[in-house]
Structure 1
Amino acid sequence: MTPPLSGRELAGLEMHEPVTGPVYAIYYPVLAAFGVPVNIVAIVILSQGKCGLSTCITYYLVAMAAADLVVVFTGVILNRIVDIYFPGSYLLLTPACRAKTALVYATRDISVWMTVTFTFDRFVAICCRRLKTAYCTKRTAAVVISLVITLNCLKNIPWYFVYDPIYIVNSLPWYCRIRPAFYISPAWLAFSFLDCIATPFLPFFLILLLNALTVRYIIAASRVRRALRGNAAERSPDPEMENRKKSIILLFSISGNFILLWLTYIVHYLYYRITNTYPYSGYNDPVYILQETGYMLLLLSCCSNTFIYAVTQSKFRKELVQFPTKPFLICLRK
């Protein structure tokens, strides 16, 4: 009988079972081909500070784009593309496999929690006026970003020690499998449970909660503001409400994108925990397809934020249109 698997162990199976089929073989290279350049472009454009966003928001958005870029390198290129196209690569040696696994978990967690910190920052800016002055600063943003990176790196170090080699060939350990102690040790079971709660269930809940509170505050504040302005509200635009509207569109687009693209992964996990449908009957098993679809959408979320900026921010679109010609213009000026 196969022992029950934890939530993150399902992710481990995603990494170490061979992923075959033309869909996967095409999808991941295309995702990498788009994900790397679009995140680099987003980092460059946002770092210039010409998108009409505050320094605080810019810090978070640059950090999110950088985290997404690293996820593309670790989760898509090193993990998926190497496994598909280079099955005999030395990156599949057990020490490299362990390190890669820990990196994939850490970078994915960082990307997720960057979205949470951005959502919380916008919640404070919109709903907590007294706290806004002290919290929504570039110094606080830098501290929060540093803490997110440090804590998630430390939290995922134990994943390096979860795996044993599958084969020993010429004294070299190959591939990774979860060691039996992981299923019975109280310490490992506690770690697995807390890790699964930390990502993705707690971020998912926090983003939904913060957005709900933000919506409730905006509706109440809009009613009060319209009542105070009276007929003037119909005759002239309200600059404060317009700025708030732009901030809300950006907030809801990014957090909504996260929720939608992670939803399949969460549905698969909950379905698995309820039905305990492992092992799969094959690559055509609907549950296996649901798992792989969830993982594909999860990684897609790391490449879509740039498109969200382009759709919601007119100044970002302007900089994006000019971006391909800027290097040539700088060279001509020199």
Structure 2
Amino acid sequence: MPNQSEPKLMAGNANKTLAKAIARRMTMLRGMPTNLVDARVERFNDGEIFVEVFENVRGEDMFILQPTSNPANDNLMELLIMADALRRSSAARITAVIPYFGYARQDRRTKARTPISAKLVANMLVGSGIERVLTMDLHAAQIQGFFDIPVDNLYASPVFALDIMDQFKGKLDQLMVVSPDVGGVARARELAKRINSPLSIVDKRREKPGEVAEMTVIGDVKGKTCLIVDDMCDTAGTLCKAAQVLMDNGAKEVHSYITHGVMSGPAVERVTNSVMKSLVITDTIQPTKAILAAKNIRVVPTAPIFTQAILNIWNGTSVSSLFDADTLTPIYDGLYAAE
């Protein structure tokens, strides 16, 4: 039986550009206008967040578009308060579309007397009335188990694979996918399979968070065009050092494919001055002017895959079908031509 409610999109202030892109694409795919719900998400003088929805949402299938990126706490509170406003306005279902899930790095206790903040955030989201979560490249896949509601975790690797096949056409046999640490091997292997490339690892040893004491390359990268693959880039210190180590070990070129461009502090300057030929990130986090102006940083859109995932959730069809390149190629048609 077809869904009688309409999919309605509501956006916080974290990434309005992506939200508007999703609304435009949904308008194109459905052949009828899809606008962001008319609402205000504002702050009182003391910083308290206030939300007011100006449209009737009773019985509607609501999708809140809000990454919990910097400032993480403000954006998270916006998401929670928007969800509460919709729940109290009798929305039929509330899905949180969180392109970048903040606090995901705190997914376990690494030392005594430390929190598992990712679980706390999951509890808060569920308590606010959210009934489903749609996100991309969680830092740790087991975070899905922190929720007692459905979680759809999209992957950037099939989108990156399309980009790589377009950018390195005729040179695919020269590529080497590199994981910047042992923990990211599964993610790197997934991309390597998609482009039929060998896999290498940079083993890093940390003295303390944010500092890398030593790096060793596992695998022969001599004469290869290396593609470093990871889920996020924060200060870019580890990434730039890994690129230098690969070049020192005989790599021909180094490019990086990172899902979430957190890009804190000196990150953009470090990448610009590094040996990396290019850093490719997605727009799950709103790119800053510095990122957009950087000569060796490129942003690939996620609106096509998120729009299709939202429509699939609304229609009750498969979201996992979006993991396949054959499904994504027509979705990204015009950006990456079909092979």
Question: Between Structure 1 and Structure 2, whose CA radius of gyration is higher?
Answer: 1
TM-score (norm 1): 0.25
Structure of greater relative contact order (alpha carbons < 8 Å, 6+ residues apart): 1
Kindly indicate which of the two structures has a greater share of residues assigned to helix: 1
Kindly indicate which of the two structures has a greater share of residues assigned to strand: 2
TM-score (norm 2): 0.25
